[in-house]
Structure 1
């Protein structure tokens, strides 16, 4: 199921969604004006929900549209879930 983004704070250009133990944020930034400063576009990032660490910017950010940023987040979630499913569990098999 695709991520369902909602506006994190009313009146801002920040949207968030979470699924499968990961949090995703899309924010709009521009070189001038209110809000986040940087190259013009939508920045997508993610982080694990159960860890106190900073977020990781998704490759390609900033993106030209919200839809592109949303697609990038959904693609990253699919990748993260696949990596988690194929990661070793750390359990040893009996000899």
Structure 2
């Protein structure tokens, strides 16, 4: 199985997206101050089915401390969804 390939979705902000197997995943960096989303510091990972117009579901464990941890969490969620 090929891991998700994230690409920057919004210029000048830490928002990344990837698609695979009918699902969309988004990683966004949040923090208590500065530009971007507000909250505890870390990467928030979320997913949703591409064929349904519904809100995203946060990946368990978010916010994660690094981009690599968030990417791994999304790949684990994708594997779970495929099974």
Shorter-chain TM band: over 0.9
How many residues are paired up? 82
Tell me the residue number matched to 1:45.
Answer: 46
Q: 1:29-67 deviations in whole A, cap 9, x for unaligned?
A: 001111000010000000000000000000000000000
Where does the alignment leave 5 or more consecutive residues of structure 2 unmatched?
Answer: none
Select the structure that is richer in strand: 2
- Moved segments of 4+, more than 3 Å: none
TM-score (norm: length of structure 2):
0.97
Per the TM alignment, residue 12 of structure 1 is displaced from its structure 2 partner at its CA by 1.1
Rg larger for = 1
What is the RMSD computed on CA atoms of the aligned residues?
0.4
TM-score (norm: length of structure 1):
0.85
1:81 aligns with 2:82: yes
Tell me the residue number matched to 1:5.
Answer: 6
Q: Secondary structure at the match of 1:8?
A: strand
Larger RCO: Structure 1 or Structure 2 (Cα < 8 Å, ≥ 6 residues apart)?
Answer: 2
Where does the alignment leave 5 or more consecutive residues of structure 1 unmatched?
Answer: 83-95
Per the TM alignment, residue 71 of structure 1 is displaced from its structure 2 partner at its CA by 0.1
